[in-house]
Amino acid sequence: MTNNYIDPGEQVSARWLTAVLRQSGALPQGEVVSFEQRDTGAFNSQTHRLVLRYSSEAPAAAPAHVVIKRNEHEDGFDEVTFYNCVAQLPDHPDVTIPCYAAARDEDSGDSYLLFEDLSATHAPPVTRDQQISIVDGVPSQQAIEQVVDTLARLHAYWWEHPLMTTDTFEVGYWSRNRERFELYHQRRQRSWRNLLTNNPDWIPRDICELYESVLEALPEYWERYLEPRFRDGAQITLVHGDAYFANYLTPKHDASGTTYLLDWQSPTFDIGGYDLANLCAAFWTSEQRQQDQREQRILRRYHEGLHAHGVDRYSWDDLLLDYRHGLIFWLLMPVQDGSDGSQRSYWWPKMQCLVAAFREWRCHELLNSTY
């Protein structure tokens, strides 16, 4: 895979597909003569499945089904960086979708990725609609275990990785230094005020008091827990940033097959608990998390997975603390969602789930708050 950008123009063509596949090495001879385009239903990008037809000279191994994802105005830059980086890491675990091409145009900001189409063998354990419905958002136990194992393998590989000292990916999205934290804090405060303005006298008082308390306590919390952590680079890994169940592909038939994590729009070196909190608390009620000790079993399995893949100086108590850090971070995400214009039917159930988890895990104690 190479990062040489081949401009597709306004529309993808058979000629363009031939050029990209040839550059990637997937089509050493022959050409794409036609293709059929099918919608994937993606809500945040131009993503389509393509069924390719080749000339007679093309090898039998040439991909017959691919997925193309196109972004505009730099929206896909980080994802292109991620896939090109992974392509240069021969020992990277096979938890990312095979990618034929990932390229971006520095002038226009446009980018594209061309993936193997796994729809015949894999599917999300829950759809996005099921996920955000809350009611239907719990996958099968087998799918949960596959997803947790994949996340643990990924985090273990990137644990305190040497690339953290380069500028390949951001380090500490909001917490790496005082300047970044203050910008983040100001943004979340503005978003909270905006949310209250747009929903006057509607959000329950106890939840308003909780959010006011959290926003007030964040600076001291950052200084006590996060500033030294990121200064030392201790127990930091590459997080996905949106690792809920609908962003995984699990095998349809072979339970031992590979589970993939897709949609790498925001890879960042950060605290692994952020991905866990997103997975377990953003779209699950207290009852769903506690049923059959689902949340605890996920955390145990993840912790055991880290140890199995070489992370040996990370205790159970370390993980529980990081999970609470993740809950504090994600608690403020529905505020941003609502301020940015998301429908109440999306951000309000999410907020209720996260508030419940925040309270159950006594996260206010980390914030030095009396709430």
Q: pLDDT, tens digit, for every residue of 266-322?
A: 999 999 999 999 999 999 999 999 999 999 999 999 999 999 999 999 999 999 999
- Whether residue 225 has pLDDT greater than 80: yes
pTM score, two decimals?
A: 0.94
Topology of the domain comprising 14-120: Phosphorylase Kinase; domain 1 (3.30.200)
- DSSP-derived 3-state class of residue 190: helix
Closest to 318 measured CA to CA, from 260, 369, 271, 354: 271
CA gap 8, 16 in Å, rounded:
6
CATH architecture of 123-365: Alpha-Beta Complex (3.90)
Closest to 274 measured CA to CA, from 241, 245, 303: 241
CA gap 319, 299 in Å, rounded:
8
User: pLDDT for 44-75, tens place per residue?
Assistant: 558 999 999 999 999 999 999 999 999 887 77
The domains of the chain are located at: 14-120, 123-365
- Whether residue 40 has pLDDT greater than 80: no
Edge-to-edge strands, sheet with 268-270 = 170-171, 268-270, 237-239
Q: Which helix (H) or strand (E) holds 19?
A: helix 14-24
User: pLDDT for 3-26, tens place per residue?
Assistant: 578 888 778 999 999 999 999 999
Task: Kindly state the average pLDDT of the residues 181-206.
Answer: 95
